[in-house]
Chain A
Amino acid sequence: MSDITIAERQAGDVTILDLTGKVTIGEGSVALRNTIRRLLGEGKNKILMNLAGVGYIDSSGIGELVSSFTAVNKEGGTLKLLKLTQKIQDLLAITKLLTVFDVFDDEAEALASFE
C-alpha cells in the first residue's frame, strides 16, 4: 500500500491535488513526481497542491515539492500550495522555502490568485 493518496479535482483551468498521507523518501515522493509529470504531459500547468492531509513530510518530500515547483515553472505554469500543516510550515520556514512558494489557507483565494 502506498504511503500517499493523491486525489485530483479541476476548478476551471486549475488542477487541485489533495494529498493525504506521507510525502517521504520512496513511494510518497515517486507518486507525487509521477502525478506532476502526467499533468504537465496533459497540458495542465496550473496546479494547486492541498497539503492539509499530509501528516508527515521529510527532507526528500520537501525536495519533491521543490522539484515539482521547478518542473511546472519550466513548462510556463504555476504551482501553489494550500493549507500547510504547522509542521510543514515550520519545515518550509527553516529551509527558507516560504520565500519561494505562494502559500494560501483559503482555497477560493488561492484559485482567484491564478486568474
Chain B
Amino acid sequence: MPQKQELTLPSKIESIEEAAQKAEQFARGLGFGDDFISAIDLAVRESVTNAVKHGNKFDTAKAVEVSFSGSGDALEVTVRDFGTGFTVADVPDPTDPENLLKVSGRGILFMRSFMDEIEWSNPEGGGLLVKMLKKQ
C-alpha cells in the first residue's frame, strides 16, 4: 500500500541531516535495501542542500518542504524551496575539463546519477520544486 510522509524544515544546515535520516527511515519501512537507501540518502542530502543554500539562501523565514512517497517498488522524493529559482540548463557541466577543479556544482550531477527520474518545476507561490524517482 502506498505511503507518504511530509516534512517542513527550516533553512539551516541541520535540516539536511534531518531530511536524510527521515528518508532512510521511510525507505527502510518500505523494505528497501542498503544500496537503494544509499542512493536516496545522497539525492535527499544534495537536493535539500541546494534548497537551503542556493534556493532559500539560509533565510530561516523560508521553509524547505520535503515529501517521500512510495510503495515496495519505487520511491519518490520532492523538495521545494521558496527562493527565486534557477534554470538547470544554466548549471555548468562539472565534468567538463575546464570545470573539473571548481569547488562546487556537483550536487545535480549526483542527483541525476543516483535517481532514475528527475525534474524541476516552478510551482505556484514561487520557489523551485524538484521531483525525483528511484525505482527498485
**Which residues of chain A have a CB within 8 Å of any CB of chain B?**
24-26, 58-60, 62-64, 66-67, 69-70, 87, 91, 94-97, 99-100
**What is the interface of chain B mostly: helix, strand, loop, or mixed?**
helix
Given A25-B13, A58-B42, A58-B49; A94-B110 close (CB under 8 Å): yes
**CB pairs A–B below 8 angstroms (12 shown):** A25-B13, A59-B106, A60-B49, A60-B104, A66-B100, A66-B103, A69-B101, A70-B101, A94-B110, A95-B109, A99-B100, A100-B101
Closest CB-CB distance, A63 to chain B, in whole Å? Answer: 4
**Which residues of chain B have a CB within 8 Å of any CB of chain A?**
13, 16, 38, 42, 45-46, 49, 53, 94-95, 100-104, 106-107, 109-110, 113
User: How long is the Cα–Cα vector from A25 to B38 in the complex, in angstroms?
Assistant: 17
Contact A66 B49 (CB under 8 A): no
User: How long is the Cα–Cα vector from A25 to B110 in the complex, in angstroms?
Assistant: 15
Contact B101 A95 (CB under 8 A): no
Q: Collect the chain B residues with CB atoms within 8 Å of residue A62's CB.
A: 106
Contact A59 B46 (CB under 8 A): yes
